[in-house]
C-alpha cells in the first residue's frame, strides 16, 4: 500500500507506510488480523459471570452474542443478551446484568 485509501476494503486497517508497506490492523484500538488475514477483527474481551449466574458465548470477536442466565432461585435483573460491537461505542452492548434472589 502507499496510503490509507489502499486499505479501505479492510475494515479498521491502515497503511503502514513506514515499515511494512502493507495494510495493518490498528492494534492500539483493539483490532487484530482475522484468521484469513484479509481484514481486522475487534476483540471485546472476556465477560465476567454474574454472582449466582453464568454467561455463555462462543467468541469475543465483533458480532458475537453473549447470553446470561441465573442459577435456580435467582432472577436476571436487566438484559439477558449482549452483543460485541466494533463500532462506537466499541465493546459489549449494554450493562452486565445481575442475578437477584
pLDDT attached to residue 35 = 78
pLDDT attached to residue 32 = 86
Residues 90, 45 contacting (CB under 8 angstroms) = no
pLDDT attached to residue 6 = 80
Contacts of 27 (CB under 8 A, 6+ apart): none
pLDDT attached to residue 76 = 96
Residues 44, 89 contacting (CB under 8 angstroms) = no
- The pLDDT tens digits along the chain (101 residues) read 887 778 877 767 888 888 888 888 888 888 888 877 777 899 999 999 999 999 999 999 999 999 999 999 999 999 999 999 988 889 999 999 999 99
Amino acid at each position: 500500500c502507499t496510503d490509507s485509501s489502499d486499505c479501505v476494503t479492510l475494515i479498521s486497517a491502515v497503511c503502514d507506510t513506514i515499515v511494512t508497506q502493507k495494510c495493518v490492523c490498528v492494534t492500539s484500538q483493539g483490532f487484530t488480523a482475522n484468521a484469513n488475514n484479509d481484514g481486522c477483527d475487534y476483540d471485546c474481551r472476556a465477560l465476567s459471570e454474574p454472582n449466582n449466574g453464568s454467561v455463555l458465548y462462543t467468541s469475543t470477536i465483533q458480532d458475537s452474542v453473549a447470553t446470561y442466565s441465573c442459577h435456580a432461585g435467582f432472577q436476571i435483573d436487566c438484559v439477558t443478551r449482549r452483543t460485541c460491537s466494533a463500532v462506537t461505542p466499541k465493546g459489549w452492548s449494554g450493562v452486565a446484568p445481575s442475578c437477584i434472589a
